[in-house]
Structure 1
Amino acid sequence: MFSYMQRKLNFHLRERNRRRARLVSKDGRCNIEFGNVEEQSRIAFLADIWTTILDLRWRYKMTIFISAFLGSWFLFGLLWYAVAYLHKDLPEFNPPANYTPCVENINGLTSAFLFSLETQVTIGYGFRCVTEQCGTAIFLLVFQSILGVIINSFMCGAILAKISRPKKRAKTITFSKNAVISKRGGKLCFLIRVANLRKSLLIGSHIYGKLLKTTVTPEGETIILDQTNINFTVDAGNENLFFVSPLTIYHVIDQKSPFFEMSAETLLHHDFELVVFLDGTVEATSATCQVRTSYIPEEVLWGYRFAPIVSKSKEGKYRVDFSNFGKTVEVETPHCAFCLYNEKDAKAKLNKGYDNLAFVSEIPGAPESNETKM
């Protein structure tokens, strides 16, 4: 009893580890990390600072956003305080009553910080202002104004670009949790269902797949994550999909397909990951968008098809029932593609006639002949 439970536990742990070992998660995120990156390559991230900022998580982006403004206000506050200190405008220097300072009403570091904030965000309360007595103050005012516009443009542009990235549009494209294998049009097919949750279309949509698995070359080299192209299509083709309702895309399992040698019994013994890509252009923004998902053997159901999802109401409208989006129905399916094609060949041979070289025709009274006719 103990050994049986131990075997079940080991099998469960192996299956659990196997499920986790996937390159692309169901929501399209890539499960990969880079190690031992050279320092020169790390500097390249700073050279492309715009993309680096866009790729940051929101918590880091907001930290940079707040730090950029607070840091610039405080830095220029120190500079304004230094100008007032060097020009002896502060109260501790006891300036005369008719004395004109570089900046009116700067009495310390706090008031210098407030003047810096007012200058950079162009509030202009009118209580503190620069006078014409100090060229250094005028230059610092111009410099902070220009730098403030640059900081505002960069940070606000980064926030806007982060919000409007087509990556967010991909969240409204969903794939079925499972893929199925069944007959379609007399052929054994690998089927996946995909839906657009918005009424706005993806223009010029194109769908394709990559099969990832570990292979060994004839030279003995082991290639991890070796990629094989998988062609998906719908009845109208795989280019410029009319994505107004959920589509069932399929890959024909023929002699050229990497799934040809798999069967219902051996499917779970194979180690592969099928990554499916959907590329298109967002109709509202004309930005390109890519949606990704993946399937491992445990998520492929052999001998099933998807339940109907589109119906027509009495009012003449088409209705999409998303409660059936991931539902499957068991159907009669050959347990391997090789068996299906052998069955077709056998039926084709029954409809053909063949010469039997061992057949001998004997007609009474007819002379014997060495030729055999049929």
Structure 2
Amino acid sequence: RMFKYLRKRFASHLTERNRRRARLVSKDGRCNIEFGNVEEQSRIAFLLDIWTTILDLKWRYKMTVFISVFLGSWFLFGVLWYAVAYLHKDLPAFKLPLNHTPCVENINGLASAFLFSLETQVTIGYGFRYITEQCGVAVFLLILQSILGVLINCFMCGAILAKISRPKKRGKTITFSKTAVISKRGGKLCLLIRVANLRKSLLIGSQIYGKLLKTTVTPEGETIILDQINIDFLVDVGNENLFFICPLTIYHVIDKNSPFFDVTMETLRQQDFELVVFLDGTVESTSATCQVRTSYIPEEIFWGYNFAPVVSRSKEGKYRVDFSNFSRTVEVETPHCAFCLYNEKDAKDKIQKGYDNPVFEMTEVNETAETKM
């Protein structure tokens, strides 16, 4: 019995672990998807859009490209300067006469040609090695390397600056609660999620919405994996132009139009779906748009709980946000299904409106007594 129990627990643990891994969007917003069998023409499109490709590279690959491009250009032009010196017979191996004027002074080999190329492209300044007016090929090569060097510097430095200033980094300071909860709010059964802005600078024109990802089967028998269903989220302060200075609680009303209407407290963990929540906004300091996203699976949704308060007021009159309670939940009284809640409300409304009792039976009474004068 002990062996069967341990095997069952181990199997359930592996099932839950694989289920947690098989999510499209991770908690920090990264998409878990890969593309296979991409055509060669589509791969060439990545090279044509080289700017976006460089920006999307990870830092280790970007720095590798950065170093390789500069070292490669210095070495390439170093070889060209060495070829100019060799063709003009400026190298010491040619036994130069005393009155010989080389194209570039003091180039004695490939190493000195590489150093001259480095000085030319990074504009360190000429000292011991410098160009002369002896040959026009060297002048043309100098102009060409200077122009290409400026273009390479602008592209690579601009790519690094754009990588640093991408609004994606601003999204790291927007955080969602680790779990979602289902409880009553305003007399309605709602799914609640908490979101906070860790910076004092605001997000302008913020918009919050969600997508429910699940596998569905159409009436025609077609199975759609990752079918997307719109989930509307509301905020008490309004869905547009949020004053996002303190943590907000967004909620989705579980009514008859909600895909969660048929879900109960007992069947929630048996569902197979992924709720992805998006927050779009414009960064106030840079006017760049950013998107923050996270996801929740059934194991991360607690039925019958609510979030603990996080905003308080100090004695000095300042408002204080306690982020230790940001994802903390407290148990509250909650109906175990939305259908039960709405049936209970309908029954109370019928009683208040004075509906007839269908069990009540009315009988007629015939008055046969006569009044005598």
TM-score (normalizing by structure 2): 0.96
* Higher mean C-alpha displacement, 105-114 vs 233-242: 233-242
Q: Distance in 1 between matches of 2:185 and 2:161?
A: 46
Task: Give the superposition deviation at 1:364.
Answer: 4.0
Secondary structure of the residue aligned to 1:190 is strand
Question: What are the within-5 Å matches in structure 2 for residues 172-251 of structure 1?
Answer: 172-251=173-252
Q: Which runs of 5+ in 1 are unaligned?
A: 368-374
Whichever residue aligns with residue 45 of structure 1, its letter is: F
Q: Deviations over 1:112-140 (max 9, x none)?
A: 01100000001113221111110000000
Whichever residue aligns with residue 28 of structure 1, its letter is: G
Q: Distance in 2 between matches of 1:195 and 1:11?
A: 34
* Higher mean C-alpha displacement, 294-303 vs 3-12: 3-12
Q: Distance in 2 between matches of 1:60 and 1:76?
A: 24
Q: Distance in 1 between matches of 2:137 and 2:50?
A: 32
1:362 aligns with 2:365: yes
Change in Cα spacing, 1:92 to 1:274, as seen in structure 2 (3 Å) is: same
Question: What are the within-5 Å matches in structure 2 for residues 16-55 of structure 1?
Answer: 16-55=17-56
Task: Give the superposition deviation at 1:16.
Answer: 1.1
Give 2:82's aligned residue: 81
Change in Cα spacing, 1:339 to 1:354, as seen in structure 2 (3 Å) is: closer
Q: Deviations over 1:152-197 (max 9, x none)?
A: 0000000000000000000000000000000000000000000000
Q: Deviations over 1:234-272 (max 9, x none)?
A: 112222211010000000000000000001000000000
Give 1:318's aligned residue: 319
TM-score (normalizing by structure 1): 0.96
Task: Give the superposition deviation at 1:75.
Answer: 0.5
Change in Cα spacing, 1:127 to 1:366, as seen in structure 2 (3 Å) is: farther
Secondary structure of the residue aligned to 1:223 is strand
Q: Distance in 2 between matches of 1:56 and 1:136?
A: 38
Give 2:338's aligned residue: 337
Q: Deviations over 1:277-298 (max 9, x none)?
A: 0000000100000001000000
1:352 aligns with 2:341: no
Q: Percent identity at matched positions?
A: 81
Whichever residue aligns with residue 58 of structure 2, its letter is: R
Whichever residue aligns with residue 362 of structure 2, its letter is: F
Question: What are the within-5 Å matches in structure 2 for residues 254-269 of structure 1?
Answer: 254-269=255-270
Whichever residue aligns with residue 343 of structure 1, its letter is: E
Whichever residue aligns with residue 104 of structure 1, its letter is: E
Question: What are the within-5 Å matches in structure 2 for residues 273-284 of structure 1?
Answer: 273-284=274-285
Task: Give the superposition deviation at 1:6.
Answer: 1.6
Q: Distance in 1 between matches of 2:174 and 2:182?
A: 22
Give 1:154's aligned residue: 155
Secondary structure of the residue aligned to 1:80 is helix
Q: Distance in 1 between matches of 2:336 and 2:13?
A: 26
Q: Distance in 2 between matches of 1:169 and 1:90?
A: 56
Secondary structure of the residue aligned to 2:143 is helix
* Higher mean C-alpha displacement, 106-115 vs 353-362: 353-362
Q: Distance in 2 between matches of 1:208 and 1:102?
A: 67
Give 1:65's aligned residue: 66
Q: Deviations over 1:73-116 (max 9, x none)?
A: 01100000000000000111111111111011111111101100
Whichever residue aligns with residue 98 of structure 1, its letter is: N
Whichever residue aligns with residue 157 of structure 1, its letter is: G
Give 2:291's aligned residue: 290
Q: Distance in 2 between matches of 1:231 and 1:237?
A: 13
Q: Distance in 2 between matches of 1:351 and 1:154?
A: 73
Give 1:125's aligned residue: 126
Secondary structure of the residue aligned to 2:293 is strand
Whichever residue aligns with residue 362 of structure 1, its letter is: V
Secondary structure of the residue aligned to 2:172 is helix
Aligned residues between the structures: 367
Give 2:8's aligned residue: 7
Q: Distance in 1 between matches of 2:89 and 2:292?
A: 63
Task: Give the superposition deviation at 1:41.
Answer: 0.5
Q: Distance in 1 between matches of 2:223 and 2:288?
A: 39
Task: Give the superposition deviation at 1:366.
Answer: 8.6
- Two-structure CA RMSD over aligned residues (Å): 1.4
Q: Distance in 1 between matches of 2:354 and 2:86?
A: 110
